[in-house]
Structure 1
Amino acid sequence: MRYLEFFNGRGRLSALLFGLVLSAGLFACGPTGDYIWVDSLPSAQISGPDPADYVIVPGDLLNIRVYNQEAMSTRARVRPDGKIFIPLVGDVDVKGRRPAELAKELEARMKSYIVAPSVAVTAEEVQPVRVSVIGEVARPGALDVQPGTSILQALAMSGGLTEFADEDSIFVLRTAPKQALQRIRFDYDALTRGAGKGPAFALRPGDVVVVE
């Protein structure tokens, strides 16, 4: 296995990624080490992040819908300063807010103009998330992917498996606040056949896909 191939066209992967690989014991020549098969994961860890928990960032395209008030409804791209313009309300700082929180704030601010406003905020377009694919793939490195990207999609974006890849030893390293590193195992044949939970597994920001 070529675990020292941490290079892409832009240089070496981050020290954090290197530390994740070391902590998972991937340089050992012995057994694969501790892991959990993807089919053993609860459903909450298979899907992508809950849309209700999404945090707005610059570049997102928001749909602001004010019911029965088309003149105040709008679609707006979040500017680099984290703000959008809403008719009558003016500039609103939306960076770091969740859509539901923003909707409540807008309802409060619109009461000066309309009676009992009802606002819905949705993120029509969101910014890519950063994941990494390393090990026995043609082009190891960091990837910017859309939320909900699958393992197979990430592998395809990395040029596919090399001839040295162990198709039964594909892992995702995942960390979460106040939680231990998870090492989730996948079988390539099951992924390509659409069997089990693997095909529905959605990558999240910071995930590292490792092909042994």
Structure 2
Amino acid sequence: MKRRIILITAILLFFITAPIIAQQYKLNVGDRINISVWGHQDLSKETIIDPDGRISYPLVGSIKAEDKTTAEIRTELQEALSEYIINPEVSVNLISYRKLRVTVMGEVRQEGSYEIRADNQVLDVISLAGGITENAEAEAAVLQRQGKKLNVNLKELLRGNNLEDNYQLQNGDQIFVPERERLTASIQGEVKAPGQYELSYDKEIRLNDFLAQAGSLTENAGEKIRLISNDKPIEFDVEDTLAAKKKANPIVQDGDSIYIPSALEEVTILGEIARPGSYEWNENMRLANLIARAGNTKDRANLEKIRLVRNNNEIQEINMQKFFEEDELTANPKLQPGDLVMLGEDDSVDWTRVFFMFGGFNKIKDFFGW
């Protein structure tokens, strides 16, 4: 779509400016022109501007034509012929241009050397090259000509502005469109696809979307996100960032470093829960917080008989239904590092099978005598 817009803009600019260019065009060696005098067919002639930049014409002889417009040649011929013809009506028309060759390099779709007409301008050859790419730093294009550099703001030129940058091209010209600097940010730690990611110039990305781009968090991710931006460390709660809370979800900037530390202390939840597994513990964590982090219970979960196994092998049976119905705080206990929460299905869960599937809980299995 962008390429189409660029091509259409260039074509429109050509049709708008072509008549003006033809009138102002200064002739070059190799251009072919036609000269005619009204009522004097014998004075009609086609001629090519020779390597010395001159043309030869009956009654007038040799005159310089290079770097002159057709209108200037017409005036000069009329003055010279007036010695032989009363009020001569002379017309001078450009038949064909000498072919020039220019080179286009950098962030265009088709780099290469192009044969163009002597009246072609920068936009004409950019169109021949298929337009600029999405990675082009269009404001910083350069036209190199005989050791000199002319700056070209292609971005404005393609918008129809800065038409003075639409230089008429000369043989041997080189146009270079540089690649804009890549914007990147890195993410490391407990994400599924750590690494460096490119940022867009045109579209901002917030921290939660950047995490998703990196494959989201691993099961071992901690509770905090550490962001280093402009050499200043900032820390956010994972839950707040994933919930897109404004204060914990900044726009990721070029050069930012993001780190997701692993959980230092964990609690585990198994059974009739959406995402069973281990989660980082914090001192304010209660059972309801853990269940929410694990994606909430399944429909068949038995909330009246939740088993809480402490690190010291103490087992508690929790009736969390009372917390939801009667707001009883004892039914929503604070959790401790290493706690294991088991959610059954109407007392019908085969915990041996659950532990076998999860592994790593031999001490609990031994405790129950399984």
Task: Provide the rounded CA distance (Å) in 2 between the counterparts of 1:60 and 1:51.
Answer: 13
Q: Secondary structure at the match of 2:134?
A: coil
Task: Provide the rounded CA distance (Å) in 2 between the counterparts of 1:112 and 1:47.
Answer: 37
Pair 87,122 (structure 1): closer, same or farther in 2 beyond 3 Å: same
**C-alpha RMSD of matched pairs (Å):** 3.9
**Contact between 1:166 and 1:211, CA under 8 Å: does it hold in 2?**
no
Task: Provide the rounded CA distance (Å) in 2 between the counterparts of 1:62 and 1:53.
Answer: 15
1:58 matched to which residue of 2? 29
2:362 matched to which residue of 1? none
Kindly report which structure 2 residues correspond to 1:3-18, keeping only aligned pairs within 5 A, or say none.
Answer: none
**Contact between 2:26 and 2:68, CA under 8 Å: does it hold in 1?**
yes
Deviation at 1:75, TM superposition (A): 0.7
2:68 matched to which residue of 1? 97
Deviation at 1:203, TM superposition (A): 7.0
Q: Identity over aligned residues, as a percent?
A: 26
Pair 80,183 (structure 1): closer, same or farther in 2 beyond 3 Å: same
Task: Provide the rounded CA distance (Å) in 1 between the counterparts of 2:142 and 2:17.
Answer: 16
1 or 2 for the larger relative contact order (CA 8 Å, sep ≥6)?
Answer: 1
1:103-132 CA-to-partner distances (Å, cap 9, x unmatched) read: 111001101221100112122111234543
The TM-score, its normalising length taken from structure 2, stands at 0.33
Q: How many residues get paired?
A: 149
1:9 matched to which residue of 2? none
Q: Secondary structure at the match of 1:79?
A: coil
**Contact between 1:89 and 1:110, CA under 8 Å: does it hold in 2?**
yes
| AA in 1 matched with 2:36 | R
Higher mean displacement: 119-128 or 137-146: 137-146
Pair 79,167 (structure 1): closer, same or farther in 2 beyond 3 Å: same
1:152 aligned residue (100, 114, 127): 127
**Contact between 1:132 and 1:142, CA under 8 Å: does it hold in 2?**
yes
Task: Provide the rounded CA distance (Å) in 2 between the counterparts of 1:166 and 1:138.
Answer: 6
Pair 207,184 (structure 1): closer, same or farther in 2 beyond 3 Å: farther
Q: Secondary structure at the match of 2:129?
A: helix
1:56-79 CA-to-partner distances (Å, cap 9, x unmatched) read: 221110111212211112110111
Q: Secondary structure at the match of 1:105?
A: helix
1:184 aligned residue (154, 165, 180): 154
1:128 matched to which residue of 2? 99
Pair 118,166 (structure 1): closer, same or farther in 2 beyond 3 Å: closer
Pair 170,67 (structure 1): closer, same or farther in 2 beyond 3 Å: farther
Pair 153,211 (structure 1): closer, same or farther in 2 beyond 3 Å: farther
Deviation at 1:168, TM superposition (A): 6.0
Pair 109,79 (structure 1): closer, same or farther in 2 beyond 3 Å: same
Q: Secondary structure at the match of 1:52?
A: helix
1:7 matched to which residue of 2? none
Task: Provide the rounded CA distance (Å) in 2 between the counterparts of 1:170 and 1:145.
Answer: 24
Task: Provide the rounded CA distance (Å) in 1 between the counterparts of 2:167 and 2:64.
Answer: 29
Kindly report which structure 2 residues correspond to 1:162-201, keeping only aligned pairs within 5 A, or say none.
Answer: 166-167=133-134, 169=136, 171=138, 172-173=141-142, 181-185=151-155
1:208 matched to which residue of 2? 175
| Structure whose alpha-carbon radius of gyration is higher | 2
The TM-score, its normalising length taken from structure 1, stands at 0.54
Q: Secondary structure at the match of 1:88?
A: coil
